[in-house]
Structure 1
Amino acid sequence: MASRRLVTGQMGLALSLRDDCRFDNFLALPGSRQQIVDFIHQQFSAEQERFVYLWGVEGSGRSHLLQAACHHWASNNRKVQYLPLADLHSLPPEQVMAGLENVDLVCIDEVNLIADQQNWLEALFHFFNRSRDSGTCLLVSADVPPVRLALGLADLQSRLSTATVFQMDTYIDADKICILQFRADCLGLQLSDEAAGLLLNRAPRQLDSLIERLRELDRSSLIHQRKLTVPFIKKVFGW
C-alpha cells in the first residue's frame, strides 16, 4: 500500500501516512461526524481555526481524520507532520518535537498515551507555546476530552482545553457494515449485507481489524478472480 513519507524533528525519524486515510474514503455517516469532517476539511483547512481536539474511543475514526488532514494540506504544498504517539512515546520528545513549530500543520495522535510521562508533557507544552507564536495549526486526538485527561502537567491540560473540541461517536454494528460496504466499493468490490455480517460476526470487531480483513479479501479476490461471496470469504479465512 502506498504511503506519504514524512520526516520529523532533528532525529530524521521517517513516518508514513496511510494512503487509504483520506477525506474521500472516510464515510461520514449522518450526524455529528459529518459536521466534524466538514469543519476539519473546510474551516480548519482554511485556518479559520488553528487548534482542534478530537476525542472518542479507539476505532472511532480519529487517526483516519488526522492523516486525512495531513494528506489534504500536503496536496496543497503545505508542510505537515503526523505524530502517532503510540509509535513515538518511548523516544526523546525534545528531539521528536524540535523545529515542528515551523510546520504548517502538526497532528498529534493519542495524546492520552503520554499522560504520565513528564518529559513528554513538558516538551508538548513548550511546543504548543512555540506553535502559538509561529501560527502552526494543531490537530490533536485522545480517547477522552481534555478535562478528563488527568495529565501530570496542569498548564498543558489548560492549554488543551482552549482547543475547539469535538467528540467522535462510537460506531454501532450497522455503521460498521455501512463502512465495510463503502470501503469495498472504493476498492471496486461488492460486499453484500450477508457477507458484511459474516465479517462482523467472525472477525475481530474493531473497525481497523475489519478493514484490514477487507484488504486481505481484496488481494485474494484479485489473485483468484473471485467475487466476495460468503463461501469465498469463509475459504480465505478458514471459517
Structure 2
Amino acid sequence: MDDRARTPRQLPLDLPHRPARGRDDFLLAPCNDEAVRWIDLWPSWPAPALVLHGPGGCGKTHLLNVWATRADAPVWEAGELAVEDLDRRLGAAMAVAVDHADTLASEDRAEAGDALFHLYNMMRERGGHLLLAAREAPARWAFGRADLRSRLAAAPAVGLGAPDDALLAAVLTKLFGDRQLPVGPEVIRYLTARMPRTFAAAGTIVADLDRLALAERRRVTTALARRVLDEEDRRTE
C-alpha cells in the first residue's frame, strides 16, 4: 500500500462550520482523488461538461464549490433552473456549476430538465464548461429528452466513494483541532468505527460533542462520544 492510501494529503474540505472555498485544508484520499484530479484538469476538459457522482456526504458539493471559485462560476440548484431565466442569470459567465442534477429526472422537473439542456448548449456555444453533481451517474438518470441524455452520455462522469476509515479519522482530528478540543486517539477510533460515513455526519458529531463538553465542563471522552452517537441514533429512528 502506498503512502497516499494511508495518509490523506491536504486539499480543501467542506466543513459545516466554515466556508469551503479554498484549497488549503481539504483531505485527499483514494475515495476522492480521481475527482480532484479532474477538477484540477480544468479548463482542459475533453467535453463541455463534467459530472461528479457519489453518495450523499462524500464531498461532491464541496468540489463543486471549489471549482466554481476557481472558474468564477455561479452555483445553481438543479430544481431552480428555468429556460426563460437562463440568459439573465447566466450573463457573460463562461462556467456554471449545478448541484443535484439527477433530481431533474422526475416528470415534475421536465421544465428544469429542458433548462439544463439549453444551459449545456449555451456553454458549448460559448466554449465554456458545465460541472454537474449528482448521486447517480448520468447513465442511470431517467431523463425524457433523448438529446439531453446523449449529451450527458458524452460527458466524463467521475465517481466519489464514501470516506474510508483513514479519511474519517483525519477529518475528525481536523474538526476537533479547529475547535481546539483535545481528543485522544481512542475517541477517534470509537467514532470512526460507529458513525455514519459522511463528512456532514462528522461535522454534526464534533459540533454536538463540543456543545456537550462545554455544557458539562468536561473533556471529550469515549463515554461522551457514546452519548452523542446514541442521541444521533434516536433522532434518525
User: TM-score, normalising length from structure 2?
Assistant: 0.72
Q: Which residue of 2 aligns with 1:177?
A: 169
CA pair 218-81 structure 1, distance change in 2 beyond 3 A: farther
SS of the residue 2:32 aligns to:
helix
1 or 2 for the larger relative contact order (CA 8 Å, sep ≥6)?
Answer: 2
The one-letter amino acid paired with 1:125 is F
Q: CA deviation at 1:69?
A: 1.7
196-205 or 208-217, larger mean C-alpha shift: 196-205
Match of residue 51 from structure 2 = 53
Report the structure, 1 or 2, having the larger strand content. Answer: 1
Cα drift, residue 120 of structure 1: 1.0
Deviations 1:26-57 (A, max 9, x none): 2111x3622321331x321xx11252211111
**Does the CA-based 8 Å contact 2:49-2:120 persist in structure 1?**
no
Structure 2 match to 1:26: 26
Shift of 1:170: 2.6
- State the match for 2:125 in structure 1: 133
Matched to 1:62, the amino acid is K
| Structure 1 alignment gaps of length 5 or more | 1-17
Question: How many correspondences in the alignment?
Answer: 209
8 Å Cα contact 2:183/2:220 also seen in 1: yes
- 1:73-152 pair list within 5 angstroms: 73=71, 78=72, 80-85=73-78, 89=79, 91=80, 93-94=82-83, 97-99=86-88, 100=90, 102-116=92-106, 117-152=109-144
**8 Å Cα contact 1:23/1:68 also seen in 2:** yes
Contact 1:101 1:131 in 2 (8 A): no
Cα shift at 1:188: 4.3
1:35 aligns to 2:34 (yes or no): yes
For residues 191 and 95 of structure 1, the distance between their equivalents in structure 2, rounded to whole angstroms, comes to: 53
Provide Cα deviations, 1:123-161, integer angstroms capped at 9, x if missing partner: 110111111112332111111222121211111111112
Name the stretch that deviates more: 227-236 or 149-158.
Answer: 227-236
Cα RMSD of the aligned pairs, angstroms, is 3.1
Does the aligned pair in 1 maintain the 2:58–2:198 contact within 8 Å? no
User: Which structure 2 residue ranges, 5 or more long, are not aligned?
Assistant: 1-17, 232-237
Distance 2:219 2:85 in 1: 45
Contact 2:49–2:130 (8 Å) recurs in 1? yes
CA distance in 1, matches of 2:86, 2:22: 24
Q: 1:230 aligns with which of 191, 198, 222?
A: 222
- TM score, norm. by length of structure 1: 0.71
Distance 2:217 2:121 in 1: 55
Inter-partner Cα distance in structure 2 for 1:221 and 1:95: 51
Change beyond 3 A, Cα 1:142–1:93: same
Partner of 2:205: 213
Which whole-Å CA distance do the structure 2 matches of 1:33 and 1:154 have between them? 30
Residues 232 and 223 of structure 1: CA distance in aligned 2, closer, same or farther (over 3 Å): same
State the identity %.
Answer: 26
SS of alignment partner, residue 113 of structure 2: helix
Q: Supply the distance in 2 between the matched residues of 1:182 and 1:43 (Cα, whole angstroms).
A: 27
